[in-house]
Structure 1
Amino acid sequence: MIKRIECAYVPVSDVERSAKWYEEVLGMKLRSAIQPGRGAIMIMGDGGWLFLQPSPNMTPLTFATTGWTEVGESFEMFPICFETDNIQKLYESLRQAGLWLEAEVRDEGTCGHQLNFKDPDGNKYQVWQQPE
């Protein structure tokens, strides 16, 4: 009955700064001009929408889980996983941006290539590329 996720909402401390970062670093497009006090709609390559919402008490979009490691240790989880066709190009863009990201792209075999990173507000994401 549920087909797909149409959009996601992300807390940010500064909508204009974040919209610029999502454009320049992740290659998303700003849908329309940002209105004072309002969020921004970012369009992904396949047409999906990411809403950047002002969050005065900014709490990053992450959570702790013990279900992601083999030994049950706590892991800071990413709630959203993006897909890309060029993970190496995205890795270089993220590296140049100078924020937290994993040291290298991981080759997960049949699960493709993966990389975890954070935006300027500490929202944690994963990006994935299908195996070759």
Structure 2
Amino acid sequence: MGEKLIRVGTTYLPVQDVALAADWYTTKLEAQLNYMDDEKAILAIADQALFLVKAKQGETSNFIDSNGSERFSLTFEVDGEEKLVELQKDLQAKDVEVGPIEDRGHPGRNFVFRDPDGNKFDVWSQLSPKFKERLKVEQ
């Protein structure tokens, strides 16, 4: 059976202050701002649209797993461990809350970071094979 869903095109994130969040994402993560009003900002980042949506106080995209650990709902990919280390250092230099690089028992390494609203994200050092193929990235 062929794939019916091709890719994730848009991710929605809750934020408290749309303008401040948009500034953080464009400054710290180098996202491109495409639109903004009082209720939302639309950014281009990692080959998709990211909507920053004004939400109730304390809302985040995180969730608690069955073991009681707070989890992220989104993983970004970079092309290799060297790029992972480079990104972690870059984010730390920009005063982003960044966790240590981890070995989670699968190929590649990861680290976690948070935006100012507490949304938690993962970064993985492995590009997916289909993405590499699509972009003609050497394997």
TM range (shorter): 0.7 to 0.9
Correspondence for 2:58: 58
CA RMSD of aligned residues (A): 2.1
CA offset digits 1:12-69 (Å, max 9, x no partner):
011111111111211211113x22x2311110143x1110011133311111113xxx
Q: Identity over the aligned pairs, expressed in percent?
A: 31
Structure 2: give runs of 5+ residues left out of the alignment: 128-138
Amino acid at match of 2:34: R
Residue equivalent to 2:14: 11
User: Does the 8 Å CA contact 1:14/1:54 hold for their aligned counterparts?
Assistant: yes
Aligned counterparts, 1:4-83, within 5 A:
4-32=7-35, 34-35=36-37, 37-46=38-47, 48-66=48-66, 73-83=67-77
Aligned residues: 122
TM-score (norm 2): 0.76
Question: Which structure 1 segments of 5+ residues have no match?
Answer: 67-72
